[in-house]
Amino acid sequence: MNWQEIIGLVGGLLGNFSLVPQVYRLFHFKSAYEISLPFLWIWLSSICCWLLYGIFLGLLSIMIWNSVTLVLCSLMFYAKFKWGVQKKPAD
């Protein structure tokens, strides 16, 4: 494994590790009102593009970490739809 791939793996690790506290907070407090749905859709699109890019070029670090990011993003979507949608007021 070359040093460029190692840098990519470390960068992906750090980037994904930064998302863990946010995902933990969403599930701990069961609140996702503060997460923007348009942000999640754009972020998901970006992740999918990066993942495909990594697959097409055979870049291991891009494939691994964008797959992990996809899981974290999916958890955020789950939290948003479960705890972040405005409820209608009671009649």
Q: Give the max Cα distance, the chain.
A: 64
Find out whether 9 and 61 touch, Cβ atoms under 8 Å: yes
- 18-59 pLDDT, tens digit each: 999 999 999 999 999 989 999 999 999 999 999 999 999 999
pLDDT at 90 over 70: no
pTM value is: 0.85
pLDDT at 8 over 60: yes
Q: How far apart are CA 43 and CA 58, in angstroms?
A: 22
Closest CA to 12 of 61, 80, 82, 73: 61
Token digits for 33?
């009102």
